[in-house]
């Protein structure tokens, strides 16, 4: 969770802070500054947003969807500090003339043509909002998805630019409102992209996505209909709706389920979950944490009622700010477990805003049960791989430097602190490894308790890139508190890939079982799966085979080969590394490299057996586990990864 994911004028929070600081530091302001502040106040809380999928992989969809949203004022619902002030904020209606879409090939030397892309009906605008020459009056909110024919887009580029066809397209979405300068947002989309790497029975999905049911002055997502279109375009097969507990209620939960039933068609499956804001059990001021709650696999529409037959299908609470208490973490987990559901700790070591008293998960107080002999009831794992960020930009409207006059220093630049691999490795070091080791302790139960790993985009819409205001960030870089900033995280870049040999299930039942049991791997491109083919039929996943999340025991001299299978593509590059990690009660031994067979760098072409005897010397007594990591590198030098969940093994030495 960040604190703003919209392209906007300065928020009322920022302006309030500016006023407070100004009152403390100055007694008089020049007239021009007063006029500028007046104009800022008049436009505070008005949001303009444009978005489009960063990649188009679905050859059957003839359209490029461009989402446009205008919000005139501050959302007045929800259970937060902001919602208490919001009812007092009003403004005059906006007058919308229309929207223009311009397209060009990438490259700063190529500029947008003067004529926009015109849809059927002609005129001077891509979308004309006027009726009988009068602009459309917008009192509070307006949403529109422009469906741009991809064939027409290709014709437009061919007419205006040499050197085509172009697989990467730069877009300028220009919103025209009376009395306002043109509100321009710059996007980049890759057309005609190839399918993602696949393995039989494995389905990619996003376990942590925020739809339009997350809707507050700081964060808001997109409607389910266009989310489905974007998900299919990016190669996802399922999506968990993890909208905030601070805004959900039984009525909105029921409405979401109604939409889900209409949209689930086997090609894409939506699952109604919830991201719960909770209070850590540890003592201190910064104790607000998040968890992703998933419903019972046997009845994904049940929600999280406190008792059978209850109409309270969601866990509701405040955002953790002063006067808006969040739900105690243990109470939330107990209710999830009682409903047959389960949960993952969301971004457990990336604190949310200090305004909300954001903290981190504590191993002893939050993850572990009171006796330390397992995870808290209802908790199955953690999600430290959260948001696919590698670069950030100060310019939230043009982070790609699409405009000729853009400042390169304000465009996407490497950001080591925000880098998702850095945050993932920190989460593994601080949380996953210690918890896995705890499960193998000498006094731990046998077999050991599982601790699973998951990944989620945490996208709030964010089809192209993430535009945000983050209090944690702009405390160290104040300019970002005024204009926001951008990250290259986008919906579809990260996936938890689950094994469902019988299909996903009409309501996602099999997806949920795989997430609950750890039959999953984490990927931002390549796939690597590992297991034991006990029936020796040449396939992983037959009844009796041991898959990620499974347990097995053997005599030291009878360990069967570990079977690996992988798939990558030119987009993500050949496998550069396969690492096998063995964990014992003494911790993890150093990662051991498994050679990639020559000629199989892109695809394993079936199962590849690995003799484990030389790798398993550390497992001389009790339980342990094995897990794997794969890394690829493409021609552009970009690195991509896949992490497997563990297989727990016990080796008996005669």
| Per-residue model confidence as pLDDT tens digits over 209-267 | 999 999 876 788 999 999 999 999 999 999 999 999 999 999 999 999 999 999 999 89
Domain that holds residue 109: 48-195
81 in the same domain as 6:
no
Q: Could you identify the residue written with the tokens 């601080």?
A: 430
pLDDT in tens, 356-388: 778 899 999 999 999 999 999 999 999 999 999
546 in the same domain as 479:
no
pLDDT in tens, 485-509: 899 999 999 999 999 999 999 999 9
Q: Say if residue 447 is preceded by a cis peptide, omega within 30 of 0.
A: yes
Closest C-alpha among 167, 189, 195 to residue 569: 195
Task: Determine, yes or no, domain membership for 369.
Answer: no
Q: Taking each helix axis from N to C terminus, what angle separates 31-43 and 12-25, rounded to the nearest 10 degrees?
A: 150
Residue 402 confidence (pLDDT) above 90: yes
Read off the pLDDT band of 277 (50, 70, 90). Answer: very high
13 in the same domain as 143:
no
581 in the same domain as 610:
yes
CA 343 – CA 452 distance, rounded (Å): 10
- pLDDT > 90 fraction of the chain, expressed in percent and rounded: 71
Say what the pLDDT of residue 10 is: 41
Read off the pLDDT band of 3 (50, 70, 90). Answer: very low
Comparing 108 with 139, the larger pLDDT belongs to: 139
Q: What is the CATH number of the domain that holds 77?
A: 2.60.40.10
Number of structural domains in the chain: 3
Measured between alpha carbons, how far is residue 598 from residues 199, 595, 605, 627 in Å? 20, 9, 12, 23
Give pTM, 2 decimals.
0.92
Task: Determine, yes or no, domain membership for 11.
Answer: yes
CA 320 – CA 331 distance, rounded (Å): 15
Q: Could you identify the residue written with the tokens 């599982």?
A: 450
Q: Say if residue 558 is preceded by a cis peptide, omega within 30 of 0.
A: no
Final residue of a structural domain among 162, 195, 228: 195
Task: Determine, yes or no, domain membership for 150.
Answer: yes
Residues 379/366, Cβ–Cβ less than 8 Å: no
3-class DSSP state for residue 337?
A: helix
Phi/psi zone of residue 565: left (φ > 0), alpha (ψ -120 to 50 degrees), beta? beta
Lowest-pLDDT choice from 106-110, 196-200, 409-413 = 106-110
188 in the same domain as 152:
yes
60 in the same domain as 38:
no
Task: Determine, yes or no, domain membership for 563.
Answer: yes
Task: Determine, yes or no, domain membership for 117.
Answer: yes
Read off the pLDDT band of 653 (50, 70, 90). Answer: confident
Residue 203 confidence (pLDDT) above 80: yes
Lowest-pLDDT choice from 325-329, 351-355, 356-360 = 351-355
């Amino acid at each position: 969770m960040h604190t703003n994911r919209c392209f906007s004028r300065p928020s009322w929070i920022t302006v309030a802070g500016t006023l407070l600081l100004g009152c403390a530091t100055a007694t008089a302001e020049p007239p021009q500054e007063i006029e500028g502040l007046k104009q800022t106040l008049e436009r505070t809380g008005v949001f303009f947003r444009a978005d489009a999928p960063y990649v188009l992989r679905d050859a059957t969809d003839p359209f490029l969807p461009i989402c446009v949203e205008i919000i005139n004022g501050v959302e007045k619902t929800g259970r937060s500090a902001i919602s208490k002030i919001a009812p007092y904020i009003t403004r005059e209606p906006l007058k919308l003339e229309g929207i223009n879409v311009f397209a060009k090939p990438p490259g700063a030397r190529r500029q947008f043509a003067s004529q926009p892309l015109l849809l059927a009906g002609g005129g001077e605008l891509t979308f004309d909002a006027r009726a009988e020459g009068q602009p459309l009056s917008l009192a509070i909110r307006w949403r529109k998805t422009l469906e741009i024919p991809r064939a027409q887009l290709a014709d437009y580029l061919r007419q205006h630019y040499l050197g085509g066809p172009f697989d990467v397209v730069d877009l300028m979405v220009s919103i025209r409102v009376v009395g306002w300068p043109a509100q321009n947002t710059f996007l980049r989309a890759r057309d005609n992209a190839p399918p993602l790497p696949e393995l039989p029975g494995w389905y990619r999905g996003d376990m942590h996505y925020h739809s339009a049911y997350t809707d507050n002055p700081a964060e808001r997502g997109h409607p389910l209909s266009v989310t489905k279109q974007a998900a299919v375009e990016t190669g996802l097969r399922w999506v968990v709706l993890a909208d905030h507990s601070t805004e959900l209620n039984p009525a909105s939960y029921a409405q979401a389920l109604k939409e889900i039933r209409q949209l689930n068609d086997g090609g894409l499956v939506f699952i109604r979950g919830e991201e719960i804001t909770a209070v850590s059990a540890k003592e201190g001021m910064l104790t607000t944490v998040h968890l992703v709650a998933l419903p019972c696999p046997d009845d994904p529409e049940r929600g999280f009622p406190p008792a059978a037959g209850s109409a309270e299908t969601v866990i509701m609470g405040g955002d953790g700010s002063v006067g808006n208490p969040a739900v105690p973490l243990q109470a939330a987990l107990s209710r999830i477990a009682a409903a047959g559901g389960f949960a993952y700790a969301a971004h457990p070591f990336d604190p949310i805003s200090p305004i909300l008293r954001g903290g981190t998960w504590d191993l002893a107080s939050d993850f572990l049960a009171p006796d330390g002999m397992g995870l808290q009831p209802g908790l199955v794992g953690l999600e430290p791989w959260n948001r696919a960020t590698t670069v950030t930009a100060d310019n939230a409207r043009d982070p790609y430097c699409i405009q000729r006059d853009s400042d390169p220093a304000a465009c996407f630049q490497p950001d080591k602190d925000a880098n998702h691999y850095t945050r993932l490795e920190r989460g593994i070091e601080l949380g996953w490894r210690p918890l896995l080791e705890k499960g193998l302790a000498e006094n731990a139960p046998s077999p050991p308790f599982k601790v699973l790993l998951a990944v989620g985009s945490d996208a709030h819409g964010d089809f192209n890139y993430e535009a945000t205001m983050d209090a944690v960030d702009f405390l160290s870089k104040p300019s970002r508190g005024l204009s926001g900033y951008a990250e290259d995280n986008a919906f579809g870049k990260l996936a938890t890939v689950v094994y469902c040999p019988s299909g996903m299930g009409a309501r996602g039942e099999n997806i949920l079982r795989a997430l609950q049991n750890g039959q999953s791997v984490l990927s931002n491109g390549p796939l690597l799966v590992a297991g034991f083919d006990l029936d020796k039929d040449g396939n992983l996943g037959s009844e009796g085979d041991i898959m990620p999340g499974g347990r097995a025991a053997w005599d030291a001299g009878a360990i069967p080969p570990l079977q690996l299978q992988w798939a990558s593509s030119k987009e993500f590059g050949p496998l550069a590394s396969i690492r096998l990690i063995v964990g014992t009660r003494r911790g993890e031994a150093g990662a051991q490299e498994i050679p990639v067979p020559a000629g199989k760098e892109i695809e394993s072409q079936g199962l590849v057996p690995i003799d484990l005897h030389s790798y398993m010397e550390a497992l001389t007594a009790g339980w342990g586990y094995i897990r794997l990591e794969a890394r690829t590198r493409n021609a552009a030098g970009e690195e991509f990864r896949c992490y497997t969940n563990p297989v727990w093994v016990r080796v008996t030495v005669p």
